Amino acid sequence: MSAGTAVFAHIKSSCKGVSEALSLACVDGAWLSSGPLHTGVHTFGRDGIFTVGNATAEIHPIVAEGISMAIQSAFLLSEQLNAWRARINPTFSNQVLESLRHNYEVAWRNNFSRRIRVAALFAHLFMRPLTSRIVTGGLERFPRLLTEGARWSGKAEPLLSF
């Protein structure tokens, strides 16, 4: 049985709503894979094209932060663009676009760099059997560590404007 088939069967068996919603569905062809993860910062854009979400940076899925960071990074970029638009006579030039990109990058790094580092730490801990057992045991005994982990990563703090 493939990993995709096993995961799909598990989700359907453990979630009544999913099972009901997909009761008439069938898989059409082979399961597609997303390929290897390339976590970390990729690019903030160039030549007047800006990036958000996984195009900017990819965080390890173990911390379930991808969608949250995608939405928040779009917000940070929109703040930069709205501040530019609020000027008396806004004009686009390569210099303006580069300045917007730079300001967005600074805001992004201020908000997410710590989260990326903490996510990488947890991912590495959970990818090794021994440390995974130790951390899991610690979390079972002290569930508040999850909340503290969110605080350490900066997730529990409001976004910082530019």
Judge whether 21 lies within some domain.
no
Measured CA to CA, the distance from residue 39 to residue 118 in angstroms comes to 12
Classify residue 132: in a domain, yes or no: yes
Among 112, 114, 130, 132, which Cα is nearest to 122's? 132
How many Å apart are CA 25 and CA 81, to the nearest integer? 42
Domain count for the chain, please give it.
Answer: 1
- pTM for the model stands at 0.68
Structural domain includes residue 50: yes
Please check whether residue 71 lies inside any domain of the structure.
yes
DSSP state of 50: E
Give the Cα separation of 77 and 79 in Å (integer). Answer: 5
56 located within any domain:
yes
CA distances from 73 to 28, 33, 65, 107, 144 (A): 34, 25, 12, 9, 27
Domain contains 108: yes
Cα angle 150, 155, 157; round to 5: 115
Q: Is residue 161 part of a domain?
A: no
For residue 13, being part of any structural domain is answered with no
Domain that holds residue 149: 33-153
pLDDT tens over the chain, length 162 residues: 787 888 888 888 888 888 898 888 888 888 776 667 778 888 898 888 999 988 888 887 777 778 888 999 999 999 999 988 888 777 878 888 999 999 999 999 999 888 888 888 888 888 889 998 998 899 899 888 878 877 777 777 777 765
